[in-house]
Structure 1
Amino acid sequence: MPMDIDMSRRNKVPRQLTDAERSRLDEFIDSIHYSARYSDNDFEYRHVQLPKAMLKVIPKDYHDPSKGTLKLLWEDEWRAMGITQSLGWEHYEVHEPEPHILLFKRPISYQPPQ
């Protein structure tokens, strides 16, 4: 099932964090909030709420200045920021009124690779 991710809203390739950038994010990791999962017929969803102050230390090239939010993040990028989830989740949207809330989805029938 296609995920319909707008690839133009991502970095062309995952942008790795430097050690210094990662260390600035470490203080926020324990304050990341994960919603319960919810679903429709095709996908399961969850949202991840970052501490608002964390947005200020996330590197600028993770931000989309045209929307005033984060870009859609590659899995390597959101995991490097300290977001931890099981496999298969895709960051597909940012809740624009509250740019610290990231929306994730994965196919309801997702099976991790063996």
Structure 2
Amino acid sequence: MALDIDFTRRNKKARLLSESEKEKLDEFVDSIHYSSRYNDDHFEYRHVQLPKQMLKAIPKDYFDGARGTLKLLWEDEWRGLGITQSLGWEHYEVHEPEPHILLFKRPMNYQAPAH
């Protein structure tokens, strides 16, 4: 089951944070709110609510200038912001009326690849 993510809304490759950028975000990490998981027949979902002030500390190239919201973030990018969740989650949408809310999904019964 494809996740149906609009990759044109992402950076071409993950843009990792510098140490000084990470330090600016550290104060917000404990205030990130994670919703309970919910699902349909194909995917499980959750939304992650960033503190509104945190958006001001995120580098400008993480934002979509046309929409005024964050771009869809690669896993390395959202983990770099301090979002922590188990494997398999994909950032697939930003709730535009509330741009500090990031929407994630992954296939039902996701199993991480064995190494």
Please identify runs of 4+ aligned residues in structure 1 that moved more than 6 A: none
Deviations 1:26-80 (A, max 9, x none): 0000000000000000000000000000000100000001111000000000000
> Size of the alignment, in residue pairs?
114
Normalising by the residue count of structure 1, what TM-score does the alignment of the two structures yield? 0.99
Runs of 5+ unmatched residues, structure 2: none
**What letter is aligned with 2:20?**
A
Map Cα deviations across residues 73-104 of structure 1 (whole Å, 9 max, x no partner).
Answer: 00000000000000000000000000000000
Unaligned runs of 5+ in 1: none
CA–CA distance in structure 2, aligned partners of residues 26 and 109 of structure 1: 32
Superposed CA offset, 1:1-24 (max 9, x none): 100110000000000100000000
Identity rate, percent: 74
SS at match of 2:12: coil
Q: Which residue of 2 aligns with 1:88?
A: 88
Structure 2 CA distance for aligned equivalents of residues 53 and 65 of structure 1: 18
What is the TM-score when the length of structure 2 is the normalising length? Answer: 0.98
> 2:101 matched to which residue of 1?
101
Q: Which residue does 1:56 correspond to in 2?
A: 56
